[in-house]
Amino acid sequence: MPKDNFQTLKGFRDFLPPEAAARQEVFAKIRTVFEQYGFLPLETPALEYKEILSGKYGKEGEKLMYSFADQGDREVAMRYDLTVPLARVVAQYQNELALPFKRYQIAPVWRADRPQKGRYREFTQCDIDVVGSASIFADADVIACLNGALLSLGIKDMVVRINNRKFLDGLMRAAGISQKKTADAIRILDKLEKIGEKGVREELAFSGINTKQRQALFEFLGNSFEDTKDFVANFEDIEGAGELAELTEILLDMGVKNYEVDPTLARGLDYYTGTIFEFVLPDAAEYGSVAGGGRYDNLIGKFAGKPIPAVGGSIGIDRLMAALEELELIKYDVVSDVLVCNLEENLSEKYLKVVQTLRGAGIKTDFYYEPGKLDKQLKYADKKNINFAVIIGADELKKGEAVVKNLQTGKQEKVKEKDLVKKLKPG
Q: Is there a contact between 232 and 158 (Cβ–Cβ < 8 Å)?
A: no
- Which span sits near a second copy by CB under 8 A: 219-227, 278-286, 317-325, 348-356? 348-356
- Asked if 38 is part of the footprint of a second copy (rule: CB under 8 A), the reply reads yes
Within 86-105, which residues bind a second copy (CB under 8 A)?
88-89, 91-93, 96-98, 100, 102-103
Within 317-336, which residues bind a second copy (CB under 8 A)?
335-336
The full DSSP string for 222-281 is: T--BSSHHHHHHHHTTSTTHHHHHHHHHHHHHTT---EEE-TT---S-TT--SEEEEEE-
- Asked if 49 is part of the footprint of a second copy (rule: CB under 8 A), the reply reads yes
- Asked if 1 is part of the footprint of a second copy (rule: CB under 8 A), the reply reads yes
- In the complex, least distance from residue 401 CB atom to a second copy, rounded to whole angstroms: 20
Within 141-170, which residues bind a second copy (CB under 8 A)?
141, 148
Tell me how far CA of residue 19 lies from CA of 142, 257, 283, 334, 389, in angstroms: 28, 33, 22, 11, 23
- Asked if 364 is part of the footprint of a second copy (rule: CB under 8 A), the reply reads yes
- Asked if 137 is part of the footprint of a second copy (rule: CB under 8 A), the reply reads yes
- In the complex, least distance from residue 203 CB atom to a second copy, rounded to whole angstroms: 29
Element (H, E) at 301: helix 299-304
For a second copy, the closer of residues 256 and 261 by Cβ is 256
Query: Quick count: other Cβ atoms within 10 Å of Cβ 219?
Result: 12
Tell me how far CA of residue 268 lies from CA of 45, 292, 299, in angstroms: 27, 11, 15
Instruction: Please pick, from the candidates 110, 167, 220, 277, the single residue that binds a second copy as defined by CB under 8 A.
Output: 110
- Asked if 60 is part of the footprint of a second copy (rule: CB under 8 A), the reply reads no
Read off the amino acid at residue 301.
G
Omega before residue 2 within 30° of 0, cis: no
Count of chain residues binding a second copy (CB under 8 A): 98
- In the complex, least distance from residue 121 CB atom to a second copy, rounded to whole angstroms: 8
For a second copy, the closer of residues 94 and 182 by Cβ is 94
Say which residues have a Cβ less than 8 Å from residue 189's Cβ, sequence separation at least 6: 168, 200, 221, 264, 266
Within 257-296, which residues bind a second copy (CB under 8 A)?
none
For the chain, the straight-line distance linking the first and the last C-alpha, in angstroms and rounded, comes to 48
DSSP state of 9: P
Within 12-31, which residues bind a second copy (CB under 8 A)?
12-17, 19-21, 23-24, 31
Binding mask 299-318 for a second copy (x = CB under 8 A): ----x-x-------------
Instruction: Please pick, from the candidates 122, 184, 190, 243, the single residue that binds a second copy as defined by CB under 8 A.
Output: 122
What is the rounded CA–CA span in Å between residue 277 and residue 94? 28
What is the rounded CA–CA span in Å between residue 319 and residue 315? 9
- Asked if 35 is part of the footprint of a second copy (rule: CB under 8 A), the reply reads yes
DSSP state of 319: H
- Asked if 426 is part of the footprint of a second copy (rule: CB under 8 A), the reply reads no
- In the complex, least distance from residue 82 CB atom to a second copy, rounded to whole angstroms: 12
- Asked if 206 is part of the footprint of a second copy (rule: CB under 8 A), the reply reads no
- Asked if 48 is part of the footprint of a second copy (rule: CB under 8 A), the reply reads yes
Q: In what order do the strands lie in the sheet with 259-261?
A: 40-41, 101-110, 122-131, 310-316, 289-295, 275-280, 159-164, 259-261
Q: Is there a contact between 347 and 397 (Cβ–Cβ < 8 Å)?
A: yes
Instruction: Please pick, from the candidates 177, 343, 355, 404, the single residue that binds a second copy as defined by CB under 8 A.
Output: 355
- Asked if 425 is part of the footprint of a second copy (rule: CB under 8 A), the reply reads no
- Asked if 419 is part of the footprint of a second copy (rule: CB under 8 A), the reply reads no
Which residue, among 107, 127, 150, has the nearest Cα to 39 in the 3D structure? 127
Within 210-249, which residues bind a second copy (CB under 8 A)?
none
